[in-house]
Amino acid sequence: MLNKKQKFGKKSESLAASYLKKQGYKILELNYRSMLGEIDIIAKDKNTIVFVEVKARSSNLYGNPKYAVTPKKQKKISMVALYYLKTTNQNKISARFDVISISPFNQNSDIELIKNAFELAYG
C-alpha cells in the first residue's frame, strides 16, 4: 500500500506523462528502475530519448519545485540514463534531460516543462 507521499508522487507523474503526450512525446517508461536508481519518465521526442525528472509541490511554501533538481540529483539521473542507454543498446541515439515542475499541485496546477534542463553530469 502506498503512503501519502508515494500517492502524491504517482499522481504528479501521471499528470506529467499526460502533459508530455499532449506535447507530442511518446512515453517509453514510467518509473524506470535499475540498481543505480530511478528515472520518473523516459520518453521519445521525435528522434531524441528524453529522461524526465518530475518535481511537484502541494504549495509554494518551499519555492518552485524545479530547484529541487540539485547537482547531486542530476548526477544520479545521468548515471541511470547512461545505464538505460547501454542496456537497451541505444548508445548512438540523441538524448537529453528535461524537468517537469508542477506547483502548486491542485485543481489549477502550473506545469512547466524545462527542456534541456541540465547536461550529462558525472564524475
CATH number at residue 31: 3.40.1350.10
Looking at per-residue pLDDT, the higher value among 63 and 95 belongs to: 95
Has residue 84 been placed in a domain? yes
Residue 81 lies in a domain: yes
Cβ pair 64, 76 in contact under 8 A: no
pLDDT for residue 80: 97
Q: Mind listing the pLDDT tens digit for each residue in 35-65?
A: 999 999 999 999 999 999 999 887 777 777 8
Which triple of cell numbers denotes residue 34? 535499475
Q: Is residue 44 part of a domain?
A: yes
Question: Would you state the cell numbers that stand for residue 79, as one nine-digit string?
Answer: 548515471
Q: How many domains does the chain have?
A: 1
Q: How much is the pLDDT for 107?
A: 62
Find out whether 118 and 70 touch, Cβ atoms under 8 Å: no
CA nearest neighbour of 54 among 108, 85, 110, 98: 98
What is the tens place of the pLDDT at every residue in 10-31? Answer: 888 999 999 999 999 999 999 9
Domain that holds residue 109: 4-118
Question: Regarding beta strands 48-56 and 94-103, do their DSSP bridges make them parallel or antiparallel, or are they unpaired?
Answer: parallel
The reply to whether 123 falls in a domain is no
